[in-house]
């Protein structure tokens, strides 16, 4: 592995919300060095299709891309994504293919995927619809999410599609995008880190914020002054934004600077809980130790 080879660092604050365009999507980019990260297309309201096109066609060479979503579902805890169903996928790549194949929704949404009668059994959905295989309480967790908990974070199950903190919809829509990009950009650690080219990894923006001096409970930054303080803590030049800033944009800016700051930390590429089976099925969150 040669993570020092990356020349650019991008972070995408993702959204699984309904509709063509998502105000919750923000993209930030920085180059190696210490220049402040910048927002890609400031003021633009992105669609998921546009993000796909940007990643496929406009991404600078040798970019490490962090996407704030779950790249897979829990597998290890129950011996499968959907245990007891003969159609359950064997690994993350076949999971992505299944999500995409069963999703007839426009705008890269994935609501029809969880309408499948066997798959719906595992999800908690709006309207009091909770499948009989949804684990009591917070739902099933991946090994990487247990590692996040040990760091003081509060991850939610990707099988939960209800509530402000849920990331399930973002994760499922993201899996469709990752499937569409499979021939173009590898996703670590589902694919081992290649020696050249760009790579996508999963990030959890709270981890980046904590590294920038915030606490897990105060990870959201909503002013330019707070943003600059966090960037300086990541050995980045300040951004210089004045006044309020939305937390989607600040999450992306901080996460891009954080990726650049920690990319050469070998412990983050070889976390103690990551095994070959976990890499192929559940993936991992970059920065979870």
Per-residue pLDDT tens for 134-147? 998 889 999 999 99
pLDDT digits (tens, 9 = 90+) for 3-57: 889 999 999 999 999 999 999 999 999 999 999 999 999 999 999 999 999 999 9
Does any domain span residue 132? yes
Question: Which residues, including other chains, have CB under 8 Å from residue 215's CB and lie 6 or more apart?
Answer: none
81 found inside a domain: no
Clarify whether residues 152 and 204 are in a common domain. no
Burial pattern 252-279, b for ≥16 Cβ within 10 A else e, equals bbbbbbbbbbbbeeeebbebeebeeebb
Last residue of a domain, one of 143, 162, 179: 179
pLDDT of residue 1: 55
Q: Which domain does 9 fall in, by range?
A: 3-71+187-269
Q: pTM, whole model, 2 decimals?
A: 0.97
Q: Are residues 101 and 165 in the same domain?
A: yes
- Write out the H or E segment, with its range, that includes residue 46: strand 46-47
Do the beta carbons of residue 281 and residue 76 sit within 8 Å?
yes
Task: Classify residue 114: in a domain, yes or no.
Answer: yes
Same domain, 163 and 223: no
Q: How does DSSP assign 55-84, residue by residue? A: IIIIPPSSEEEEESS-SS---TTTTSSSTT
Q: Residue 128 has what pLDDT? A: 87
Is 278 part of a structural domain of the chain?
Answer: no
> Cα separation of 37 and 35, whole Å?
6
pLDDT at 56: 98
Q: Per-residue pLDDT tens for 101-134?
A: 999 999 999 999 999 999 999 999 989 899 999 9
Structural domain includes residue 241: yes
**How is residue 37 written in tokens?**
């990260």
Same-domain check for residues 154 and 23 = no
Would you say residue 76 lies in a domain?
Answer: no
Could you count the other beta carbons within 10 Å of the beta carbon of residue 106? 10
pLDDT at 163 over 90: no
Q: What does the pLDDT look like over 200-243, one tens digit per residue?
A: 999 999 999 999 999 888 899 999 999 999 999 999 999 999 99
Same domain, 154 and 102: yes
Q: Please give the tally of structural domains in the chain.
A: 2
């Amino acid at each position: 592995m040669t993570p020092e080879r990356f020349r650019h660092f991008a972070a995408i604050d993702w959204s699984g919300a309904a509709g063509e365009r998502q105000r919750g999507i923000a993209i930030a980019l920085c180059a190696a060095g210490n220049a402040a990260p910048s927002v890609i297309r400031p003021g633009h309201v992105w669609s998921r299709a546009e993000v796909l096109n940007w990643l496929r066609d406009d991404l600078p060479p040798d970019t490490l891309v962090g996407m704030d979503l779950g790249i897979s579902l829990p597998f290890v805890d129950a011996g499968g994504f959907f245990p007891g169903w003969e159609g359950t996928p064997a690994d993350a790549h076949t999971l992505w293919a299944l999500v995409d194949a069963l999703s007839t929704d426009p705008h890269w949404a994935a609501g029809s995927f969880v309408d499948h009668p066997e798959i719906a059994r595992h999800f908690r959905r709006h309207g009091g619809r909770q499948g009989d295989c949804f684990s009591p309480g917070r739902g099933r967790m991946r090994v990487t999410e247990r590692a996040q908990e040990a760091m003081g974070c509060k991850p939610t199950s990707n099988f939960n599609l209800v509530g402000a903190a849920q990331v399930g919809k973002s994760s499922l829509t993201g899996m469709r995008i990752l499937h569409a990009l499979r021939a173009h950009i590898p996703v670590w650690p589902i694919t081992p880190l290649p020696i050249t080219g760009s790579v996508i990894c999963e990030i959890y923006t709270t981890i980046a914020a904590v590294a920038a001096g915030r606490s897990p409970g105060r990870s959201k930054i909503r002013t330019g002054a707070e943003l600059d303080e966090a960037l300086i803590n990541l050995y980045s030049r300040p951004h210089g934004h004045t006044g309020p800033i939305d937390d989607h944009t600040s999450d992306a800016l901080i996460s891009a600077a954080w990726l650049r700051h920690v990319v050469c930390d070998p412990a983050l590429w070889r976390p103690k809980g990551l095994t070959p089976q976990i890499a192929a099925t559940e993936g991992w969150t970059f920065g979870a130790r």
